[in-house]
Amino acid sequence: MLSANTLLIISTVCIWILLCINILLIIAGYIYYLKTEHATVHLVNKDYPFVSVLVPAHNEAVVITQTVKSLLSFNYPSDRYEVIVINDNSSDNSSELLENLKLNYPTRQLIIINTNARNGGKGKSNALNIGLKKSKGALIAVYDADNTPEQNALLYLVSELVQDERLGAAIGKFRTRNRLTNLLTRFINIETLSHQWMSQAGRWQLFKLCTIPGTNFIIHRRILEKIGGWDTNALAEDTELSFRIYMEGYLIKFQPKAVTWEQEPETLLVWFRQRTRWVKGNIYVIVKNTALLFNVKTKKIRFDIFYYIAIYFLLVLALVTSDLLLVLNFSGYVQTTVAGISSMLWLIAILLFITGTFITVTTESDEMTMKNVAIIALMYLTYCQMWLVVAAYGLIMYFIDSIFKRERKWYKTERFK
Amino acid sequence: MKRYKSLLLFLVASTLVFQFITPEYTQAGTLNHKKVLVVYDGLSFHTAHSDNVAYIVRQLTSMGRQVTLTDLAHYKSKTVNEFDNIVYIVNTENNNNLSGKFENDLIQYKGHFFQIGGSLISKYSNLLRLRTQVASGTTRMSVHDQELEQILRGSDTRYISDGKGTLLGRVSMNGQKTGSIGILNEHNHIGYMANLTNNLSLKLLVADLLKKWLSIKGQGAAYLTLTDITPFSNFKVIRYVAKELYDRGIPFIAVAQPVFSHLKSDAMLRYLNVLNELQSRNGALFIGSPVVYKTDVNDNQLLQRQMDAFINTLADHHIAPLGISSQNYWLFDRQYRKQGLGFFSAVINTENDAHLYWRDKTETALVKETQLFSLPFQQVVSLNLPEWAQLDLPMNTALTYSITHFKTMSSIKQFLKEIDTYPITINDFMRNDLETKSSRHHIEQKNGEIFIDGAPINHDILKQIELKKQKIQKKKSQKQIIFARQNRFLILLFSSVLVLFIVFLLISRRYYKRKYLKD
């Protein structure tokens, strides 16, 4: 049985290793940012491929009108793309709103698919598969029902995808539309920016790896059909899809100039449920693909598999273990005599977190402020600890669901006006 | 032959017959001589008598008597018949508080009686032909040839002017002997102390009287006792004092507070080293009773487990705790007796704190094989006995001195000087036969030697622990080196990255200005 000292040393080492990996990703991500600032994207200006834009929607009456209008406003030839809204078993007035929209845009290729409890209501993956069947585009783009993409978003994605044969998909950047609503949305805004500029951009720069974020991305139809569409068992269908694209030997590239704006949770409960779904979904993907760590053909994606394992298992366990040991040590139930980690080191690590995160947000307008520095500092003490709770909870719930063979329910994120 | 047979038969028969005759005296005489009933009229808080009851109870328990304590209000009829010895304490000036039940029982009572304070009950007053006087104003009372001045505030001092028995404690007024404070009639086993207040000389006198009244032979032994030794004490000071006492040939008892957590930590090891050194310097180790700060604990066996763990840890390191020092009320509490005192055969009986944390109170105190009365050494020194006099204590006494008083070298030297020069014989506690039992160890002190699980303890163990300490320190320092290096490396790495991030921020600032701030 491991002693308290050994456990503390192991968990501390794990935390330092992951911190070092993240530092590497921040540096790589920033280098990629500088590259994209100077790079010119050769936009497609002829032979526009036909794109089917899929929008899965379930009870999205609050936001769907605005979203569809944005999608219909792309700076992309209107006859070269269709918008397919899969109104998936909605009980609100989404279908009426969508029909009105169709009436208002009679010349546009706007297809509404209304599903019911029999053929729908089984989650986003199922809705997307339904949309895929109806679509005719050679390229498939996906947008969530709360998104308002910028006009050039589709054009950037298409251009990126068609000009590099290695790519199976291209992803854009998503921003938080309601980032100023409250402290939680500010936290989420910073989180999403740092994730994209650190994790996405950094992984692309180092390993040519990216993960589909679930919205604002584009993929070759032929690849989708080859891999059998979306996995209806996956709660994180985006991550799951990414791994299968890798398995086919394709890359997924991050194009930060393709921007969409989406609504993020404004309350803790909604946030907690959404993030729990993500955690459970990602763990499903990890468990499904762990064997690939030992598969020679998939050495390219080993970093991603290891990275996800490190985040969702190692880091969570290490943080929980070290926090628990700290509490038990103070209470006198265990004794740890490992006194070697200095306060100076902890302080520098915290400063690194703050500056590293701040670097990732300075890439965006209105974000390079001292207020954000303070928010990031506050995030360290609050939001990050909440994430730890979500991750631990999600981990436990995943295993409980697996042991008791519970149905994986898709929790629909609540929208706000 | 027939005659002798008849005589034998007669003797046997009369013995049998006499068994069934129950005159009260005989019945009382067959009772346990060690039981004492203490009855009091009130506690008289905030007066000069407020400490009387607690002090007398502590005295009697230190004398090995099983004390049962009750006040007049709760006195049950015929209780006196169960006891050979009754001590009646009167704290109020007017002892018309005498309960009818108690007074009636005393009329028939044939056992030994001792009263402290108030007017002696008429039955006994008549037997002693006692005459008392009351002196008003300032009275000087000389006890043990010591002058002490009792300053009266609106109350009177009772003293004995004459009586049938040995008179003790001279009272003088304005230089003239007027009477005595105490009287003892050994024939009738009646004792009376006219006055008792919170004064050491009076207390020593009443102890002397009680001892004679209880027919306890022999002189009490005094033991120097160093108290308040904790893991947070100044170990250098403790080591110094222990060495000085050892070099002077002065044995002592050391009372160390228990530790209930982190028993394997380095701090605990250092504590054990100090205790071991005290033991090696002829110190007899006692454990101080832990501080109780709440009684509503769910786990009723917690104290027992904790004490057991501590004793086991001591014994594992060849340190033999020979007894426990506890407040007097622990002897009256079933839970503390079992879970705290139950490990030991020796107890140092200390004064109760102001607040008592009862768990399971009883009227009757526990009696231990070896019980020491505790008395602060400084109080004894304050008696200012002349050098030619020798202070003999009536009961086995732990003369306590807290090591927290050793704040400066001069205070240590003053203490050592007092020990050297004060006219009192310091005894060696190692001469007592004692026993301590825990779940894993059996500790005994026999014929001046200490055994742990049958094996004598080796005083050279000090050397072994020193070597072990060095080994641990070496290991610790290796670990510290690794961590220090890791720290330095990581600090260097992270600081470099921080610098790089600052560079990135400067670059970002330029880009940001260019993209978003220019008009």
Q: Kindly state whether residues B381 and B285 are assigned to the same domain.
A: yes
Q: Is the pLDDT of residue A297 over 80?
A: no
The confidence score (pLDDT) of residue B364 equals 87
Determine what percent of chain B is predicted with pLDDT higher than 90. 32
The confidence score (pLDDT) of residue A336 equals 59
Q: Domain ends where: B187, B213, B239? A: B213
Please compute the mean of the pLDDT values over residues A407-411 and round it to a whole number.
61
pLDDT band at A41 (very low <50, low <70, confident <90, very high): confident
| Identity of the residue in B487, B495, B508 whose CB atom sits nearest the CB atom of A340 | B487
- DSSP tag of A157: H
Q: Kindly state whether residues B386 and B451 are assigned to the same domain.
A: yes
| Residue from B265, B494, B514 to probe the interface with A (highest A Cβ count within 10 Å) | B494
Determine what percent of chain A is predicted with pLDDT higher than 90. 52
The confidence score (pLDDT) of residue B177 equals 64
Q: Is the pLDDT of residue A19 over 70?
A: yes
Say if strands A110-115 and A139-142 run parallel, antiparallel, or are unpaired. unpaired
Q: Kindly state whether residues B209 and B230 are assigned to the same domain.
A: no
The total of structural domains in chain B comes to 3
ipTM value, please give it.
0.85
Q: Kindly state whether residues B25 and B87 are assigned to the same domain.
A: yes
pLDDT digits (tens, 9 = 90+) for B199-222: 787 888 888 889 889 888 877 888
B471 in any annotated domain: no
Q: Is the pLDDT of residue A409 over 80?
A: no
A332 contact residues in B (CB cutoff 8 A): 261-262
Q: Does A329 touch chain B (CB under 8 A)?
A: no
> Which residues 28-57 of A are in CB contact (within 8 Å) with B?
30, 34, 37
Q: Domain ends where: B182, B213, B244? A: B213
Q: Kindly state whether residues B257 and B399 are assigned to the same domain.
A: yes
Taking CA–CA distances from A17, the nearest residue in chain B reads B490
The confidence score (pLDDT) of residue B151 equals 42
Q: Kindly state whether residues B278 and B396 are assigned to the same domain.
A: yes
B194 in any annotated domain: yes
Please compute the mean of the pLDDT values over residues B404-429 and round it to a whole number.
88
Q: Domain ends where: B193, B213, B233? A: B213
| Identity of the residue in A20, A335, A359 whose CB atom sits nearest the CB atom of B264 | A335
Q: Kindly state whether residues B103 and B190 are assigned to the same domain.
A: yes
Which one of A129-133, A275-279, B362-366 scores highest in mean pLDDT? Answer: A129-133
Q: Is the pLDDT of residue B6 over 60?
A: no
B1 in any annotated domain: no
Q: Does A339 touch chain B (CB under 8 A)?
A: yes
Is the Cβ–Cβ distance between A81 and A109 less than 8 Å?
Answer: yes
B131 in any annotated domain: yes
B497 contact residues in A (CB cutoff 8 A): 23, 27, 352
Q: Is the pLDDT of residue B190 over 90?
A: yes
Which one of A15-29, A289-303, A314-328, B308-322 scores highest in mean pLDDT? Answer: B308-322
Mark B492-510 as b/e (b = at least 16 C-beta within 10 Å).
eebeebbebbeebbeebee
Q: Kindly state whether residues B244 and B381 are assigned to the same domain.
A: yes
Q: Is the pLDDT of residue A51 over 80?
A: yes
pLDDT digits (tens, 9 = 90+) for B477-501: 666 666 667 778 888 888 899 999 9
B468 in any annotated domain: no
Q: Kindly state whether residues B271 and B405 are assigned to the same domain.
A: yes
Residue B498: which domain range?
477-519
> Which residues 255-294 of B are in CB contact (within 8 Å) with A?
261-262, 264-266
Q: Residue B383 and residue B423: Cα distance in Å, rounded?
A: 11
Q: Kindly state whether residues B443 and B481 are assigned to the same domain.
A: no
pLDDT band at A137 (very low <50, low <70, confident <90, very high): very high
B466 in any annotated domain: no
pLDDT digits (tens, 9 = 90+) for A139-181: 999 999 999 999 999 999 999 999 999 999 999 999 999 999 9
Per-residue 3-state assignment (H helix, E strand, C coil) for B451-518? EECCEECCCCHHHHHHHHHHHHHHHHHHHHHHHHHHHHHHHHHHHHHHHHHHHHHHHHHHHHHHHHHC
Question: Does B26 or A134 have the greater pLDDT score?
Answer: A134
- Compute the count of residue pairs across chains A and B with CB atoms less than 8 Å apart: 69
Locate B291 and state its tokens.
Answer: 């501080």
Interface contact flag, A352 B486, Cβ < 8 Å: no
| Identity of the residue in B486, B494, B497 whose CB atom sits nearest the CB atom of A340 | B486
The confidence score (pLDDT) of residue B447 equals 82
The residue to which tokens 């792309």 are assigned: A74
Q: Residue A58 and residue B124: Cα distance in Å, rounded?
A: 102
Q: Among A338-352, B380-394, B463-477, where is mean pLDDT lowest? A: B463-477
Q: Kindly state whether residues B384 and B450 are assigned to the same domain.
A: yes
Q: Which helix (H) or strand (E) holds B412?
A: helix B409-421
B317 in any annotated domain: yes
B465 in any annotated domain: no
> Which CATH number covers residue B226?
3.20.20.370
> Which CATH number covers residue B197?
3.40.50.880
pLDDT digits (tens, 9 = 90+) for A84-112: 999 999 999 999 999 999 999 999 999 99
pLDDT digits (tens, 9 = 90+) for A238-269: 888 998 898 888 999 999 999 999 989 999 99
Q: Does A233 touch chain B (CB under 8 A)?
A: no
Q: Kindly state whether residues B111 and B38 are assigned to the same domain.
A: yes
Please compute the mean of the pLDDT values over residues B70-90 and round it to a whole number.
90
